[in-house]
Structure 1
């Protein structure tokens, strides 16, 4: 299914709504993801300036339960009616954010104004652990909204259409969330590129090219270097790319690195994989430091951990590497066959540099149909 660039393609006539009262519950779970080819810089409404590719995680996820009931005849259908709970507690801050997001969808998703919504959300990881949860939380909300539309309007019966629209909606809430709707797909891409067929700026897609066995069940241990809120939000960081003097060079590099990574994933070339993945992490943070005003999200512990990973790789000839998101925490990536050696190294040498000794063991899901 191919959507055009206009939001009108997603408009569903509210006349399709049944006149009888409807109520029910939908539940979805979405994982976090870690980008290997980074998305940094956007245009339009959450459209990426370069394609990105990410590993889907398994253990770090958000689960959302959405209760809905159609409004009475005399109630306004042009307003969002919402209550939101996070981890079994009413959360006004999150509720305001979700309310604003749903309001922004009303012009193209008018059926949202015809229901009362109660949303309950929780993470499998501590919210204060320093792992960005916007990808998993907005992805699972988008899946719930598509399920709601399906139940109210009898649309989205096609599986591919369902997930493409969920990815489209998730993208509007958080760009990286577009890649988190595919919970059982180990690698996803987002952003149009000639290197991969059927890619789009509007929604993410399951990675469709060959993947060597060495990258199956790949491990990702997330080291919590800092649990503090970032000094500069990702949204603000993206905006600063508009005046970054190295922006165009970065976008060209992303396409080049993506092509290298595609070849490495197919051939099982861990050396090139490591070179590309670590380069992307460094470039992301270099762009932050070259912004105006500049900002630094890495901490002292981040740099210490990076150096220790690179030394361990050289000394032991084990293909372990790192990547970073837009924060201080370090994702340690390594093949499943080296899991014992890498976890022992992390416990002995890297744990002391983690906030309260915290790290989370994660991995890619086993490849299956969504």
Structure 2
């Protein structure tokens, strides 16, 4: 209980309260006119002049009810309590019901301290009525209930807005993770190809100058593809720029990984089943998983001669297997840090699938992934 009360007391104010708008000024003007008319037209109103002056005089507190809720509650309810002590009775002006807006704002926009102190002032005003004898216990209970309802509404909207902000923060985090995966899967793939080809070109430059020229040509091609994909991502991030909507990669695009101009071990691609009928998210995920696996094999699989990419599609799921024949002890450096495998696991998990990677018993390294055909978690 102590921790709960402490957390309420230490509750910060919600950020960015709305500024004053013309509707706030219109509300104050309309309530002022209503209070004056009520004072003139109600023949049974006691202390007519005092009631109208007090109710109209504290109306401006509504203008600062979001930015200074505790101060406005203290001014409004304190003034009403003082006026009741002076006249010895209640300011029975129905227009004064707008004070419920201050109680609402106190719980909606105030800090925990503001809520505790301000509520004490509000309910202290009710106790003044009991002390002066113009309020019965039934009236006290009714007033307590109405003010509590107004405060509860403010608190409910406050925590609803907070929950919404948490959802938005979670969406932003997931979007950042998605962009990080896409950057790693696309740009890193091209950069790795450029690095491998540059190493081959340097090794053969002295004895085979034509091979070095060929390597530079391939490096230029990979760099152009990397820049194109980077520019596409930047255009997506800059929402004020027109976006060229290119189709997402599909399973059939895996054949591009086995192109004859690709450096490193030969890549063999085999696709069985109705891969063309897969939903775009599933096809894109399979392509990215295979692309990252091939990139890792080219980068780390020492003395590998081939990389096999196998995709099998059945009625319920899509199976991906990427394996190489590199030396097991040298296929992946121990303690290597990177986000490739983490991103692959996350990508598969988002679609309700699994992704695993590890060395083979005899030789090489294998990545396996299984995704539901529908692309929705089970």
Answer yes or no: same fold by TM over 0.5: no
- From the two aligned structures, give the one with the greater helix fraction: 2
The structure showing larger relative contact order (alpha-carbon pairs under 8 Å, at least 6 residues apart) is: 1
Return the index of the structure with the highest Cα Rg: 2
Question: What is the TM-score normalised by the length of structure 1?
Answer: 0.23
Question: What is the TM-score normalised by the length of structure 2?
Answer: 0.22
- From the two aligned structures, give the one with the greater strand fraction: 1
